[in-house]
Amino acid sequence: MQSLDYYIGITNDLERRLWEHNTGYDENCYSYSRRPVELKYFEIFNDVSQAIAREKQIKGWSRKKKQALIAQHFDKLKELSKSRNQK
C-alpha cells in the first residue's frame, strides 16, 4: 500500500489551484505525479504574511500531527508537539 503524501501550500483561488493540481497543468509541480489530489483541510487568511507563516509552520509538523489537524483532533496537537527525542 502506498503512503499518502500531504501537500501544503497557499493560494488566492482554491478551486483553481485544485484544478491545476488535478489536471497536471504544471508538470514541474510537486503534485504532478501524485494525481489525483484530494483537499483534506484548509484555512482562510486575510493577510498573505500570516498564510505563509502558517504554511511554514504546518510543513514543519510530523505526519501524525498533520493527520490530527486534518481529523480536527485539535486536543492532540499539543501532545504531538512534544519533542520526538524525549524519552
What is the pLDDT, as a whole number, of residue 86? 57
What is the pLDDT, as a whole number, of residue 14? 96
Q: Give the residue ranges of the chain where pLDDT is below 70.
A: 1-3, 83-87
* DSSP-based three-state secondary structure for 22: helix
Indicate the length of the chain as a whole number.
Answer: 87
What is the pLDDT, as a whole number, of residue 5? 83
Cis peptide before 36 (omega within 30 of 0): yes
Cell of 71: 481529523
H-state helical runs in 1-87: 14-23, 48-59, 63-70, 74-81
pTM of the full structure: 0.83
25: Cβ contacts below 8 Å, ≥ 6 apart: 19
What is the pLDDT, as a whole number, of residue 12? 96
